[in-house]
């Protein structure tokens, strides 16, 4: 499992996620329940983390639907 903080947009983009700015990653986190991304995010204290592999799986399944 690989986790990246959402305030590191360069790492998110390098991992293949579509969130190339902090604002986009934050938007995805805030709307994770309605977008079906609940399992992709974790909290670690004040940090919000993205589980890269799970996020890519969920985004791929949404694109296929």
Q: pTM to 2 decimals? A: 0.87
Residue 54 has φ and ψ, to the nearest 5°, of -70, -40
Percent share of the chain, pLDDT over 90: 91
State residue 1's pLDDT score. 87
Give the mean model confidence (pLDDT) for residues 46-60: 95
The secondary structure of residue 65, as a DSSP letter, is: -
């Amino acid at each position: 499992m690989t986790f990246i903080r959402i305030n590191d947009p360069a790492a998110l983009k390098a991992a293949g996620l579509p969130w190339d700015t902090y604002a986009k990653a934050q938007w995805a986190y805030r709307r994770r329940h309605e977008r079906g991304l609940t399992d992709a995010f974790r909290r670690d204290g004040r940090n919000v983390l993205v589980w890269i592999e799970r996020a890519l799986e969920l985004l791929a399944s949404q694109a296929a639907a």
